[in-house]
Homo-oligomer: A and B are copies of this chain.
Amino acid sequence: MLARVQIDRLLITTLPNVTWLTGFEASAAAVLVRPHQCVLLTDGRYREAAIEIAERCAGLITVVPVEDTYEETIVRLIADEGSAVGFEAGSMTVARLNWLTTTLRHTGSPTVLSPTMTAVEACRIVKDDWEIDILRDAAQRLSAVAIGVIADFRPGIAERDVAQGIEAGLRRAGFSRPAFDTIVASGPRAALPHGRASDRVIQPGEVVVLDFGGVYGGYCVDLTRTVACGDPGSEAREWYDSVLAAQSAAIAAVRPGRPAADVDLAARTVLEQRGLGPLFTHGTGHGLGLEVHEAPRVGRPRRESGRDPMPGTVLLPEDLDAGMILTVEPGVYVPGRGGVRIEDDVLVTASGVEVLTNVPRTLVID
C-alpha cells in the first residue's frame, strides 16, 4: 500500500481505513503506517480495547495513547519522522491540515505532510475470503430478517412500527446496529428514495418500499423490497415489473473485467426502453464493506475532466473484479404518486456473479 503511493509513512485518519488496517473500531482513532509497523492512536475511552488488539498482533501494532488532542499526539509522533508523511486528503479537513502543518513548522520539524487519495480504499475494494465469508453470512441473516418482516407485514400500522420491527429483527439476527436509517416509505412517500419511516399509517393496497441494512462483524449489508398488501393497481404493477426487469438485467451484467458502469447501463437501458428512464434518479448501486457506501461506484460513467488526478492518488479501478461486493438497486420514483425499488447484494466471482441476498421478489403479498 505504501509502495502504491510511493511514500514510506502514511497517516490514516479515515475510521473505516483504521478498522481495515488494524481491526480496531472506535469513534475516534488514527494510525501511522510505517514500513514494518502500525502505530495506533486512540484516547482513554478506547485504551483497553486498543491494547487488546495490539496484544493479538504482537509487534505489528503499537498503541500510542492520546493524552490531550489527536492533533497534538500526531504532531509529537511524526515530528521526528524526518521524511514525507502521506495524509488522506479525502478525509483530512482543511482546518486540521492547517493546524498540523503550522504546528510542525513552529516546532522546527523537518516532516512534510503530503496528500494521498484512496490508497487504502483501493486495497479495500476487493474483499478477501475472510471478508467474503462475513458478508455472505450477513447477507443470509439480512435475508432472513426481510422474510420475517414481510411475513408479518400488514396494512393499518405506522411506518415507524414497521421500522421498529425491522430493527428488532436485525438485533435478533446478530447485527450490531442498522447500517443506516431504516426506510419505510408507503403510498406517495414511496416516491422519496430515502423516505425514513414516519408516523404515516399504511393503507391496504399501498406500495411500500422497505430498505434496510445491518452491520455484522463490522461489515454492512443492504436490502430493499417493495411490497403491497392487496391490489396496488396496474400502474404500480408496471413500475414493479420494469424495475424487476432492470434489476435482473443489471445482475446479469455483473462479471469480472467488465466496467462497473455497464451494470448501471444495463438497468438504465431497460427503464429507458419502457419510458421510465427519467424516473430513475440515482445510480444502480454501490460497493459494500466496512462502509455501507464504498467503492466500486456503480453509476453512469463520470465525464472526463481532462485533468490529471491529484498527486498521490491511487486510482480506484473502474472495472469489476472477483471479490468485489456491491448492491444492485434500480428504482422508479413518481413524485406525489409512489415508487418502487428492488435491491440485492452480489459478489463478483471469477466466473460471473453470486447473489448473496435471497428474498422472494414479489410485489403483492397476502
Q: Does A117 contact B (CB under 8 A)?
A: yes
Chain A residues 42-93 with CB under 8 Å of chain B are: 43-49, 68-69, 87, 89-93
List 3 A-B pairs, minimum CB-CB distance, nearest first: A44-B281, A164-B171, A89-B95
Question: Which residue of the partner chain B has the closest CB to A313?
Answer: B95
Q: A68-B303, A163-B171, A168-B164 are in contact. Are A48 and B94 (CB under 8 A)?
A: no
Residues of B within 8 A of A36 (CB): none
Residues of B within 8 A of A180 (CB): 27
CA A298 to CA B359, docked complex, whole Å? 48
Chain A residues 87-119 with CB under 8 Å of chain B are: 87, 89-95, 97-99, 102-103, 106, 115, 117
Q: Does A151 contact B (CB under 8 A)?
A: no
How many residues on chain A are close to B (CB under 8 Å)?
57
A sample of 7 cross-chain residue pairs with beta-carbon separation below 8 angstroms, ordered by A number, consists of A44-B281, A45-B194, A47-B281, A48-B191, A98-B310, A164-B172, A168-B168
Q: Can you add 5 more A-B contacts, CB < 8 Å, to A68-B303, A93-B94, A176-B197?
A: A44-B282, A45-B282, A48-B192, A163-B171, A177-B178
- A189: min CB distance to chain B, Å: 9
CA A103 to CA B306, docked complex, whole Å? 11
Contact indicator B89/A94 (Cβ below 8 Å): yes
What is the oligomeric copy number?
2
Q: Does A181 contact B (CB under 8 A)?
A: yes
- A251: min CB distance to chain B, Å: 22
Contact indicator B94/A115 (Cβ below 8 Å): yes
A144-181 CB mask vs B (1 if < 8 Å, else 0) is: 00000000000000001101100110011010111011
From B89, B167, B174, A98 is in contact (CB under 8 Å) with B89
Q: Does A193 contact B (CB under 8 A)?
A: yes
Q: Does A335 contact B (CB under 8 A)?
A: yes
Question: Which residue of the partner chain B has the closest CB to A65?
Answer: B281
Residues of B within 8 A of A201 (CB): none
From B91, B94, B177, A97 is in contact (CB under 8 Å) with B94
Residues of B within 8 A of A102 (CB): 307
Question: Which residue of the partner chain B has the closest CB to A193?
Answer: B45
Residues of B within 8 A of A192 (CB): 45-46, 48-49
Contact indicator A171/B176 (Cβ below 8 Å): no
Contact indicator A46/B194 (Cβ below 8 Å): yes
- A148: min CB distance to chain B, Å: 15
Q: Does A196 contact B (CB under 8 A)?
A: yes
- A154: min CB distance to chain B, Å: 18
From B44, B47, B176, A181 is in contact (CB under 8 Å) with B176
Between A45, A48, A281, A335, the greatest number of chain B beta carbons within 10 A of the residue's beta carbon is seen for: A48
A202-246 CB mask vs B (1 if < 8 Å, else 0) is: 000000000000000000000000000000000000000000000
Q: Does A26 contact B (CB under 8 A)?
A: yes
Contact indicator B172/A281 (Cβ below 8 Å): no
Question: Which residue of the partner chain B has the closest CB to A189?
Answer: B48
Residues of B within 8 A of A196 (CB): 176
CA A62 to CA B305, docked complex, whole Å? 28
Residues of B within 8 A of A171 (CB): 160-161, 163-164, 167
Residues of B within 8 A of A46 (CB): 192-194
